[in-house]
A = this chain, B = another copy of it.
Amino acid sequence: MMIVRDPSRPFAPGVPDLAAFPHAEWRRVLGRLWRRPPLDLMCGIDPLGHPPLRRAIAEHVGRTRAVRCDADQVMVVGGSQQALDLVARVLIEPGDRVLVEDPCYGGLAGVLRAAGAVAEAVPVDADGFDPALAERRCPEARLACVTPSHQFPTGATMPLTRRLALIDWAARRGGWIIEDDYDSDFRHAGQQAASLQGLDRHGRTLYLGTFSKSMFPGLRLGWLVVPPSLVPAFVAARRTADMAPAGLTQAAMAAFMEEGHFGAHLRRMRSLYGKRRRSLLDAAARILGPDLPVTAGEAGLHAILWLPEGSDENAAANAAHAHGLAPTPLGFHRVTKGCPGLILGYGNLAGWDLDDALKRLLSAISPLI
The chain A residues found within 8 Å of chain B, CB to CB, are 5, 7-8, 15, 18, 21, 23, 26-27, 30-31, 34-35, 37, 39-45, 77-79, 81-82, 85, 89, 94, 107, 110-111, 114, 216-220, 236-237, 239-249
Contact = CB atoms under 8 A, between A and B. Distances in A.
A244 B243 CA distance: 16
A243 B110 contact: no
A14 to B, nearest CB: 9
Contact of A247 (B40, B43, B218): B218
Contacts of A34: 23, 26-27, 30
Q: Chain copies in the assembly? A: 2
Nearest to A42: B216
Contacts of A107: 239-240, 243
Interface of A is mostly: helix
Q: Which 6 interchain pairs have the tightest Cβ spacing?
A: A44-B218, A218-B247, A82-B242, A27-B34, A42-B216, A220-B246
Contact of A246 (B23, B85, B218): B218
- With a 10 A CB-CB cut-off, give which of A26, A79, A239, A246 has the most chain B CB atoms: A246
Contacts of A244: 218, 220
B30 A15 contact: no
6 contacts: A27-B31, A27-B35, A31-B31, A42-B217, A45-B218, A81-B243
Contact of A42 (B7, B27, B82, B89): B7
Given A18-B39, A31-B30, A246-B249, A44 B217 contact: yes
Given A220-B246, A249-B246, A240 B43 contact: no
A8 B39 contact: yes
B114 A89 contact: yes
Given A27-B31, A31-B27, A242 B81 contact: yes
A26 B31 CA distance: 10
A44 B81 CA distance: 14
A137 B79 CA distance: 42
Contacts of A245: 220
Given A217-B45, A242-B220, A39 B81 contact: no
A89 to B, nearest CB: 7
Nearest to A40: B7
